[in-house]
Amino acid sequence: QQQQQQQSTLLIKCMQAIRTMVVNDDIVQSFVAVGILPILQTTLDSCVQQEQQHSKNTTDSIVVATLGLARNLCANDDIKTDLCQNTNLVPNMIFLMKEYKHVPAVAEHACATIAAMALREPKNAIKLVRAYSCASSIATAMRQHRTMPVVQRQAALAIRNICSRLTDEDDTAVRDAFLDLGVEDLLHKAAHFSGSIDEAYAALRDLNCRVQMVRVEKDPLPPSSFRPVFEESKELNHRIHEL
């Protein structure tokens, strides 16, 4: 038992250390070349299996560390598409979001990973919504962590990145998937925090929702130090001038 705990602690520290180091594409590819992706996937598989078996060996620290690393690795376009399209990383992540729904860091990293996968990749965005039902998981995270700007920001980014580059045919179905879950109201509430106001407005615009000025509240927690995954929204500057 003690040896198992030591191994888990070492795994967490390794995941955290690698996440800190993968700050650019070259470094990401270097870690991929030495086999980090199979380790990442095996760890998530193990977390899911142990949760399904009601084992006490998996902790939220392992899940947070693993999803945090996945989040950073998805900064590479080829890697994020491969992970989204050809592995079970996303369904495992969605499962763990449900199992650890009360842990803000799990929700933050999972939403940020979804945001990264969808960024400038419409085929990933469509699969995330249609095959993996990510819209429901994102909405649940926003409701569960209403007072956490870091979660609200990454959830809004995920919605925005999913909806921003779809074709007209796909756009309506994907947009409706979010709107039917009450995301418009959630985004309006997220816009009250200074740490998520810009991302919430961008998501509302790409959902073709009404945008109104709100009073910004002081964030109860400081914003995440991780650089958010973001790009300019469609007609963003035009809409800002209209306001």
- 70 CB contacts (<8 Å, ≥6 apart)? 40, 44, 83, 89, 93, 109, 113
CB 195 within 8 A of CB 152: yes
The segments of the chain whose pLDDT lies below 50 read 224-228, 239-240
Q: What is the maximal distance between C-alpha atoms in the chain?
A: 62
Residue among 182, 181, 214, 209 at smallest CA distance from 197: 214
- Give start and end residues of each alpha helix (H) in 22-167: 25-33, 36-52, 60-73, 77-86, 89-99, 104-118, 122-130, 134-144, 149-163
Residue 222 has a pLDDT of: 54
Angle at 35 between CA 30 and CA 41, to 5 degrees: 120
pLDDT at residue 240 in the model:
46
Token duo for residue 242? 């209209």
Q: Identify the DSSP state of 24.
A: S
pLDDT of residue 99: 95
- Burial (CB < 10 A; 0-12, 13-18, 19+), residue 41, is middle
Amino acid sitting at position 226: F
Tokens 């560390």 sit on residue: 65
Q: Which of 102, 116, 183, 197 is nearest to 149 (CA)?
A: 197
> Which pLDDT belongs to residue 228?
46
Residue 3 identity = Q
Give the global pTM.
Answer: 0.86
Q: What is the pLDDT of residue 4?
A: 82
DSSP conformational letter for 87: S
CA distance 225 to 229: 12
Look at residues 59, 58, 42 and name the one whose alpha carbon lies nearest to residue 50. Answer: 58
Written as one letter, the residue type at 48 is: V
Cα separation, 199 vs 213, whole angstroms: 14
Cβ 231 vs Cβ 190: under 8 Å: no
d(CA 97, CA 109): 10
Q: Percent helix, strand and coil across the chain, each rounded to 5?
A: 70, 0, 30
